[in-house]
Chain A
């Protein structure tokens, strides 16, 4: 039957085989990157020893190799994976909200807004209290993300053209960065050392507390986003259609903004602003899956973001060792060309 064969093409084994293939592929790449990340660095440690250190906890508290693996490479790699996933997810949500594949937390100035608030928190608040907890940093970053998102939305109300919205986002980004630089200039030296690396984006210096807090926050948010796959799929069709399917659009809009700002803010609080992951990863994932259905794109984007950031962090760490590159340097080299291709394609249509 003609009908049944068509049914299979779209809804049957063919599509599912493709989805499975993508997920299995991502899992394999992720596994390889885990091994590769732990295995490389300025100090060479043989694979056999690594296995012993990880699985048997051999040499705990004594050897340098143990400390390098457990205190440096592992936490760094895990945060890169978790935060990379969060960035890709934030990008996907923003693209859904704006109905534009080129939206993302970095280009819309949301990361820069978070950065500004975290910088203020670190410099001004630190001069009054002794330490700032991760949770407070996340809260500050979330507030900054929401405020710059507010400006983007204000711009979006009067600007119908999507490309102009991006220009508005980039301008907001410049303003926030300028203010951050201004604050940094007048900060105490000790603070600057902290701020300098972070404000350019980096996964270095993560400890197990960071791993724990960021993982809990990000994975919980991921679960919420995944459970919202159905209304997100309706929202992708456009607001009017979403509403006619029974979605309360006004409420859902706020939910989308909160979730994407929260994810982008969390990433910025821990690793600083990281460019292009949010745009490039969901795009590649959709191409691989040949669908934009949230139920598969959400988990695949998360895994894709993790893989992408693990790879980029590996390059940032190893390419010019012992000098480290900022993570955005690497993500931009891979991500920006993808965005340019997307812009050109969009123009052609």
Chain B
């Protein structure tokens, strides 16, 4: 009760062969649901089954208690519109023509647009900031423009749900953000429910109200982004043996350099990040310290350094911490001081030690 769109024990696949079974998803009106998961996991298969492009093998989906399985294509067209990965065929189509096809379920039997329909077409184009494309040939515009036009077409169909299959592929970052923010405002202002597959997990985390992880034969996880975006779930979902998922940044990190660390980095207050990343690129294993656990440096170092000498936030550093760092430094051939604020006594002592040992190769101390 209360859910606007739900699937109940839905099984999907091709030609009667089940690919993913027992899909149970429930979302409320105006929510954004993202499907994430590795390539070929079946995200598109699920979307195509919801839109009836593929026959559901068993189970059903419901839109406000109406069964999708038993709905005619005509009725479905008034509730669900799509942005597919498939190319739009047809010749001599202007962008206006393409958007106008969204009015199809509402026009008379010869498909002639009324003045009101035309207004809606232009309103949809304004909505995606694409009015100036109206007279352009649809097949000669850029990928970013094309996605916007296809979205305008979907909006113009006045659906309750928009289903998008990888709408952000091939788009540069600017157009990705633009597209997603249009979706965000459509869902909040007009209560349009959005169901889409996304490759960019960082964006999925930020835009979605609910997230489905698609992997293997079942839905491995379903929940809010807070529930889903955890290092274990994400690394497991994508089978990331190398590299890791950085919760704090919602992004992925490349694998940490292998081997015995011969470099020690003294860093604090975000000064270390560039050094950590440079060492990672050079495939030089390293230690880092001494870093407070609420320091932004810590959130990078923990994924990239062999070992981090860290101190819980808002506690005093102790002599023990210094000894731990000094012990690691003794194993190293070089020490890089990436920088720390003046007056950080314990770090100043570490730097002095490095200089005394003749290991300090570069220093930006006392910023």
Assess whether A246 is interfacial by the CB under 8 Å rule: yes
Could you tell me the distance between the alpha carbons of A234 and B113 in the complex, rounded to whole angstroms?
Answer: 14
Please, which residue of chain A has its CB at the minimum distance from the CB of B100?
A: A11
Restricting to A240-263, which residues have a CB under 8 Å from any CB of B?
240-241, 243-249
- Contact indicator per residue, chain B 236-276, by CB within 8 Å of chain A (1) or not (0): 00000000000000000000000000000000000000000
Query: Looking across the interface, which residue of chain A has its beta carbon closest to that of B131?
Result: A3
Give the chain B neighbours of A265 by CB distance below 8 A.
Answer: none
In the bound complex, residues from chain B placing their C-beta under 8 Å from that of A48 are: none
Q: Which residue of A lies closest to B88 (CB)?
A: A237
The yes or no answer to B331 lying at the interface (CB within 8 A) is: no
Question: Could you mark each residue 106-133 of chain B with 1 if its beta carbon is under 8 Å from any beta carbon of chain A, else 0?
Answer: 0101111100001000100000000110
State A15–B110 Cα separation when bound (angstroms). 18
Looking at the complex, which of B57-65, B73-81, B192-200, B299-307 is the stretch in contact with chain A? B73-81
Q: Which of B80, B88, B91, B135 contacts A241 (CB 8 A)?
A: B88
Closest to A238 in B: B89
Knowing A243-B73, A246-B105 are in contact, say whether A6-B53 is a contact too (CB < 8 A): no
Residues in B neighbouring A246, C-beta threshold 8 A: 72-78, 104-105
- B211 proximal to A (CB < 8 A): no
Q: Is B101 positioned at the interface, with any CB of A under 8 Å from its CB?
A: yes
Contact status A247-B92, CB under 8 Å:
no
The reply to whether the CB of A109 lies closer than 8 angstroms to some CB of chain B is: no
- Interface residues in B116-155 by Cβ distance below 8 A to A read 118, 122, 131-132, 134-135
Q: Judge if A41 is at the interface, Cβ distance under 8 Å.
A: no
Q: Is B51 an interface residue (CB 8 A)?
A: yes
Give the residue of A230, A237, A248 whose beta carbon is less than 8 angstroms from that of B111: A230
CB of A236 closer than 8 Å to a CB of B: yes
Cα(A99)–Cα(B80), bound, Å: 25
CB distance from A187 to the nearest CB of B (A): 44
Given A10-B96, A245-B101, verify A292-B91 contact (CB < 8 Å): yes
Among A229, A230, A240, point to the contact of B84 (Cβ < 8 A): A240
CA distance A246 to B90 in the complex (A): 18
Judge whether B77 and A245 touch: CB under 8 Å: yes
**Quick one: which of A6, A230, A286, A291 has the most chain B CB within 10 A?**
A6
Residues of A within 8 A of B93 (CB): 292
Tell me if A7 is interfacial: C-beta within 8 Å of chain B. yes
Cβ–Cβ contact B82 & A244, under 8 A = yes
**B359 CB within 8 Å of chain A:** no
Provide the bound-state CA to CA distance between A137 and B77, in Å. Answer: 42
The docked-state distance in angstroms from the alpha carbon of A241 to that of B86 is 9
Q: Taking CB as reference atom, which chain B residue is nearest A250?
A: B73
Neighbouring A residues of B118 by C-beta, 8 Å: 7, 11
Do A292 and B89 touch (CB < 8 A)? no
Per DSSP, chain A at the interface is: helix
Q: Is B21 an interface residue, CB under 8 A from the partner?
A: no
A67 sits at the interface (CB 8 A): no
Q: Is the CB of A10 within 8 A of B135?
A: yes
Is A295 part of the binding interface, using a Cβ–Cβ cutoff of 8 Å? yes
Nearest chain B CB to A256 CB, angstrom units: 14
A227 within 8 A of partner (CB): yes
* Min CB–CB distance B135 → chain A (angstroms): 5
List of A residues within 8 angstroms of B175 by Cβ: none
Known: A238-B86, A240-B86, A241-B88. A247 touches B73 (CB 8 A): yes
Which A residues touch B76, using CB under 8 A? 246
A236 to B88, CA, bound (A): 9
B235 at the interface (CB under 8 A from A): no
B52 lies within 8 A of chain A by Cβ: yes
Q: Which residues A277-296 have CB closer than 8 A to chain B?
A: 286, 290-293, 295
State whether the Cβ of A132 lies closer than 8 Å to any Cβ in chain B: no
A291 to B77, CA, bound (A): 25
Name the residue on A nearest B104 (C-beta).
A245
* Residue in B closest to A234 when the chains form the complex, CB atoms: B104
Task: Check A9 for interface membership: any CB of B closer than 8 A.
Answer: yes
Q: Which residue of A lies closest to B51 (CB)?
A: A244
Per the bound structure, the CA–CA distance linking A290 and B135 in Å amounts to 12
Cβ of A113 < 8 Å from any Cβ of B? no
Minimal beta-carbon separation of A155 from chain B (angstroms) = 20
Is there a chain B Cβ closer than 8 Å to A130's Cβ? no
Answer whether A291 and B73 are a contact pair too, CB < 8 Å, given A9-B135, A230-B107: no
What is the bound-complex CA distance between A292 and B91, given in angstroms?
6
In the complex, A101 has a CB within 8 A of chain B: yes
Which one of A3, A234, A244, A292 contacts B80 once the chains associate, using CB atoms below 8 Å?
A244
A236's partner among B77, B90, B132 (CB-CB below 8 A) is B90
How far, in whole Å, are A3 and B81 apart by their CA atoms in the complex? 25
How long is the Cα–Cα vector from A248 to B53 in the complex, in angstroms?
Answer: 11
A335→B130 CA distance, assembly (Å): 40
Within the assembled complex, what's the spacing in Å between the Cα atoms of A193 and B340? Answer: 103
Confirm or deny: A233 has a beta carbon within 8 angstroms of a beta carbon on chain B. Answer: yes
Tell yes or no: A157 within 8 A of B by CB.
Answer: no
* Bound-state Cα–Cα, A99 to B87, Å: 12
> Which residues from A are CB-within-8-Å of B96?
6, 10-11
Residues A2 and B77 in contact, CB atoms below 8 Å apart: no
23 example contacts (A-B, Cβ-Cβ < 8 A) are as follows: A2-B132, A6-B131, A7-B118, A10-B134, A101-B91, A227-B109, A229-B111, A230-B111, A233-B101, A237-B98, A238-B88, A240-B84, A241-B86, A244-B80, A245-B101, A245-B104, A246-B75, A246-B76, A290-B92, A292-B91, A295-B110, A295-B111, A295-B112
Which residues of A come within 8 Å of B, CB atoms? Answer: 2-3, 6-7, 9-11, 99, 101, 227, 229-230, 233-234, 236-238, 240-241, 243-249, 286, 290-293, 295
Residues of B within 8 A of A (CB): 51-53, 72-78, 80-82, 84, 86-94, 96-98, 101-102, 104-105, 107, 109-113, 118, 122, 131-132, 134-135, 157
Besides A6-B134, A236-B89, 19 other CB < 8 A contacts?
Answer: A3-B131, A6-B96, A6-B132, A7-B134, A11-B96, A101-B91, A237-B88, A237-B98, A240-B82, A243-B52, A243-B53, A244-B51, A245-B77, A245-B104, A246-B73, A246-B104, A246-B105, A247-B73, A249-B73
Q: List the 4 closest pairs (A to B, CB-CB), nearest first.
A: A246-B77, A230-B111, A246-B74, A245-B104
